[in-house]
Chains A and B, each alone.
Chain A
Amino acid sequence: DTEVTQTPKHLVMGMTNKKSLKCEQHMGHRAMYWYKQKAKKPPELMFVYSYEKLSINESVPSRFSPECPNSSLLNLHLHALQPEDSALYLCASSQESGQGVPYEQYFGPGTRLTVT
């Protein structure tokens, strides 16, 4: 099973709402990632979790709050977002690269977020 699943597929939220994006993988990967992708742009790394601990935070605003409850699950909690946060949010997972060569990342289909 090389699948990364993400829910929901689409999300529309107001600027005062609180919502969460969910990501799940069952490949035994110990690194998980959140990316933000605007239209016609490459994915931009937001967060990396390694062994359920936050290892990289790319100076993301605090209105985005990641959580890794266990090795298979990754959440992104959203609060007080701005319209410019509308984008495709991609989750990915990989074997942990901390001891050597980087491993390929497996991506989910993404959540299309619209902030109104």
Chain B
Amino acid sequence: AQSVTQPDIHITVSEGASLELRCNYSYGATPYLFWYVQSPGQGLQLLLKYFSGDTLVQGIKGFEAEFKRSQSSFNLRKPSVHWSDAAEYFCAVGFYNNNDMRFGAGTRLTVKP
């Protein structure tokens, strides 16, 4: 079955440090991958998406993600984390010819001052 896995439930980083959040997918065909962020009590905001082409994708708020087919991964990165980045991050997979979308379990990011 098509799915995404986020191995890290909770990550803590210091403000100004670099960040990498992991996402692994299981999908037979070309995956359509998304990263969303959710602040407490809020809806989800799209950070970036990958459909095809360049495997390094730039998003909003200084985030980027790299698609690696050989590792079935789509990890999210940011070179320098700000306190306002503290939130829940969800990786998601979409499907061709279908409106369905499946989310990973999420990774909660805490930023230390």
Measured CB to CB, the residues of B under 8 A from A are: 32, 34, 36, 41-46, 49, 51, 90, 94-106, 108
CB–CB B99/A109 < 8 A: no
- Inter-chain contact count A-B, CB under 8 Å? 72
Q: Which residues of B contact A104 (CB under 8 A)?
A: 34, 46, 49
**Number of A residues, CB within 8 Å of B:** 32
CB–CB A97/B43 < 8 A: no
Q: Which residues of B contact A33 (CB under 8 A)?
A: 99
Q: Which residue of A lies closest to B46 (CB)?
A: A104
CB–CB B100/A107 < 8 A: no
CB–CB A94/B99 < 8 A: yes
| Interchain residue pairs with CB less than 8 A apart (5) | A40-B106, A41-B105, A42-B106, A97-B94, A109-B42
CB–CB A100/B96 < 8 A: yes
Q: Which residues of A contact B105 (CB under 8 A)?
A: 41-42
A105 to B35, CA, bound (A): 11
